[in-house]
Amino acid sequence: MTAGTGSNKNGVKFELSEPAYTGNVVLLYNTIGGTRSLDIKSLEAIVQGNFFESTLDSPGISINANSNSKFHFFQNLIHRKSAGESTLFYIYGPSQQIYYNIFLLDFAPIKMYGIRESSATADPEALVDNVFIDYAASSSLNLYYDENVTPYTGICDDGKPGNLPCATGEDVAVATSENKLTAQASGPLFPGPKFSDITKDGPDGSTGYNGTTSRIEVPDCQHGRYVIGEFIEYDLDGVARQITGVDCTGTSSFIDFNPALTSNSQVNKPIRLWGSQQTNYSENTHVLLSTATTLLNQGPACPDDFSVKTFTWGTAADQAGCDSTYPHARSIFDSGSCVTPYLYPATELMPEDSLPGQAGLGNGNGLCEAGETCIYNPNIGAYAGHSINGSGSQRLSEVVSATCDVSSLLPGVVLMKYGLNGY
């Protein structure tokens, strides 16, 4: 992994041309943020169960691939905050499999692209059962930008991208049977501010902060972040203060509001923008049972949507070469490659989620292999369920094999899932 510096702060970057990244990548269950939260170039990669949050105007996730690449992007939540023209998911090459992800747009920018292809050679291999949630109800949203030429504003009745209103959408993926974005919805997943800021001396050329009881100064109020009639919260005080004026130019950055503070606003105080509807400032992280979230329990069905895939970690001359070059992969040598057959879309139950002495623990590479205990996430997105009581695998319950029998795919796999599901 590398972290960017200056104006390009990457969350995670994997690049084949750098010696440290000659192997392929499995990236599971991480929270990653940055100007560009994920940047992968010319690798085979499995990216599953992650939360990505990106800011500013560069692509949030950038996938650079060639004809030899394989990229599997499953059950992630991609969150984008930017007021300028920006893209959540930028595809620069072919052979991408994009399944069961949530693309969450929570700011109304100049122009927003959900998934964007760089050219005609960047068609994904599969685009199935993803949900796009336009939190800001942006009129400038292009949900899918095909071949960097044709914008599609939404999802048609058949679950494929198109320009609304539409009954039949477009086949943007290579395999026509693998085209289905599933749904587009509006509204937040959970209560929360649409943007967070801090009071600072702005660009007015003065030598200090110039706030009053009814005015704050911020570093930058351009790009439509502050809107008259919407609400802010000052210094986490729990009071809904409505924006009454916005003095926002290249030389000023002031926000007026009502009701006033009891004393002048101060520098370095947190500001939260709650939009026009959310004025209940109690901190909540529970899932809202809304139109958006009731779509999200429609993830992979077991066993119908399960299959065996093979992940290639890299190349070697023999098994000893696989073991020494990729010691944490626990791979199998096969015709010059170091590979792992695994059960998709399950993931390995890691030691921190298990009980002492529990049988069926795997080798720690994250993939669900024969004879291992694995986790099944029935949802779209990274959230796999939860449990209030218990610890370790006591939080999990075994999936009944009579209704979810995967023994014919990989022998000895024990599937488990969380006891409670918020959707």
What is the percent of the chain where pLDDT is above 90?
26
pLDDT per residue as tens digits for the range 138-192: 556 788 888 888 888 888 888 888 888 888 888 888 766 667 666 666 555 555 6
Mean confidence (pLDDT) of the chain: 79
124 C-beta neighbours (distance < 10 Å), count? 26
In the chain the first and final C-alpha atoms are separated, in Å, by 33
In degrees, rounded to 5, the angle at the alpha carbon of residue 74 between the alpha carbons of residues 397 and 165 is: 115
Nearby residues of 365 by Cβ (< 8 Å), 6 or more positions away? 26, 328, 329, 330, 340, 348
Q: Which amino acid, residue 414?
A: V
Locate the domains of the chain by residue range.
Answer: 10-190+289-295, 195-275, 307-418
> Alpha-carbon distance 360 to 95, whole Å?
33
Phi first, then psi: give them for residue 344, nearest 5 degrees. Answer: -100, 140
C-alpha distances (whole Å) from 19 to each of 1, 14, 16, 27 are 12, 11, 7, 19
Q: How far apart are CA 45 and CA 8, in angstroms?
A: 23
Which single residue is written with the structure tokens 């065996």?
308
Examine the pLDDT at 22 and tell me if it is beyond 70: no
Q: How far apart are CA 343 and CA 334, in angstroms?
A: 18
Q: For the residues 17-24, what does the mean pLDDT come to?
A: 49
Q: Kindly report the pTM of this predicted structure.
A: 0.73
| Cβ–Cβ under 8 Å, residues 198 and 269 | yes
> Whole-angstrom Cα distance, residue 127 to residue 114?
13
Cis peptide before 356 (omega within 30 of 0): no
pLDDT at 347 over 90: yes
Going along 220-375, which residue ranges are E strands?
A: 231-234, 241-249, 252-258, 270-275, 307-315, 332-334, 337-344, 347-348, 373-375
A 10 A CB-CB count for 287 gives 17
* pLDDT tens digits, one per residue of 69-112: 778 899 998 887 665 667 778 888 777 889 999 887 765 556 67
Predicted local confidence at residue 216, as pLDDT:
96
Q: Which range among 57-71, 275-289, 326-340 shows the weakest confidence by mean pLDDT? A: 275-289
Confidence tier at 65 by pLDDT (50, 70, 90): low
Rounded to whole angstroms, the Cα distance separating 312 from 71 reads 11
CA pair distance 339, 72, nearest whole angstrom: 15
CB contact at 8 A, 90 and 141: no
DSSP state of 353: G
Whether 21 has a pLDDT exceeding 50, the answer reads: no
298: its two tokens: 């429609």
Question: pLDDT by residue (tens digit) across 259-279?
Answer: 999 999 999 999 988 877 555
Give the sheet arrangement for strand 270-275, strand by strand: 195-198, 270-275, 231-234, 241-249, 252-258, 215-217
Average pLDDT over residues 342-363: 75
How high is the pLDDT of residue 318? 97
281 vs 289: CA distance, rounded Å: 18
Please tell me the distance from the alpha carbon of residue 1 to that of residue 39, in angstroms, as a whole number. Answer: 10
Extract the tokens encoding 274.
């709650």
Fold held by 195-275: Elongation Factor Tu (Ef-tu); domain 3 (2.40.30)
